[in-house]
Amino acid sequence: MDLEKIVQETYAYGEKYLDQGNIVDYIPGLKDVDPKAYGLALIDEDGNFYEAGAIDTRYTIMSITKVFLYILALETYGLEELRKYVGLKPSSKAFNSLLDLQLEDNIPVNPYVNAGALTVSYLLYKKYGAKAIDKVLEKIRTLAENEEIDIDEEVVITSEHAGYANKAMIFSLQNKGPISKDVDVFDVLSVYNRACCIRVSTRDLAKLSFVLSNDGKNRNGVQLIDPDHARISRTLMATCGTYDYSGDFAVDVGLGAKSGVGGGIMTSTKAGLGLATYGPKLDSRGNSVVGIEMLKYISEKLNLSIY
């Protein structure tokens, strides 16, 4: 299989979708991006890279961070304890739906919607205090083998200012739900917002994808995540990773994936491949339009569907 050729073909295929979708507008700091920059990165089983397009462009990881927040929480508390705070079920509502939370008696449906990730951030904050964010950043740097990964402070400011839905949700979680009354929810929001503003490239996301797809081992065979935690992440990515599009994504692409409103999509694959895409214009559910289209294309070409 000529992976180089297929990656280039996938990139060329993506171009016709560049006019579709919109750049996220509820976080002002995310608006100033090149709408035409897009790309994809694939890493084969042996660790070779195949890349096309804006591979080094850096953008905020946004919701993709939720995968790593939950892995840290799994390492800290274990799955059974976490189940008491956050569910494991898919949602038919938007990722920041307050209604979804209320319908579920204020227990977040899963760790990949905002209410779930805010609760996970609370649990990490309870354990590590303000150092929780350092732990998340360190984790992502280690898994992506890139010490230069940092936090976009400008986007942090606008996320904190404009994150009204998250503020509503976190107060609701504290009023009745898993967040205790004695914490300052703004400290928890700070962990969450900073974790969302970690700045990565598509090459970084492909390396993160590689580790998840290889049961927690990186390209040098170093075990960085418990294989069971990698499996849990892949499962949640498949069932909840693209929010209320997850069922369609399972049919259309057939991979685990986690998207973010910064435009990135990190997949988890069978066959030990690392695969990630970027394109800043989003569909109505908050998933990159060109990213989804490129994933549909390459999944079919490489027969990647896990179903």
In this complex, which beta carbon is closest to ligand GLN, that of residue 156 or of residue 238? 156
In this complex, which beta carbon is closest to ligand GLN, that of residue 244 or of residue 293? 244
In this complex, which beta carbon is closest to ligand GLN, that of residue 178 or of residue 241? 241
CA distances from 130 to 65, 143, 195, 282 (A): 17, 21, 12, 32
| Shortest-Cβ-distance residue relative to ligand GLN | 63
How far is it, in rounded angstroms, from Cα 183 to Cα 71?
Answer: 23
Residue 1 CB, nearest distance to ligand GLN (Å)?
32
Per-position DSSP letters for 11-65, written without gaps between them:
HHHHGGGTTSSEE--SSGGGS-S-TT--EEEEE-TT--EEEEES-S--EE-GGGH
Residue 62 CB, nearest distance to ligand GLN (Å)?
3
In this complex, which beta carbon is closest to ligand GLN, that of residue 52 or of residue 189? 189
Residue 252 CB, nearest distance to ligand GLN (Å)?
19
Contact footprint for ligand GLN (CB under 6 A): 62-63, 95-96, 114, 159, 163, 166, 196, 260-261, 286
In this complex, which beta carbon is closest to ligand GLN, that of residue 163 or of residue 280? 163
Those residues whose C-beta lies under 8 Å from the C-beta of residue 164, and which sit 6 or more positions away, are none
| Vertex 285: Cα angle to 36 and 19 (nearest 5) | 25
Residue 281 DSSP class: E
Residue 261 CB, nearest distance to ligand GLN (Å)?
4
Residue 112 CB, nearest distance to ligand GLN (Å)?
9
How far is it, in rounded angstroms, from Cα 217 to Cα 227?
Answer: 8
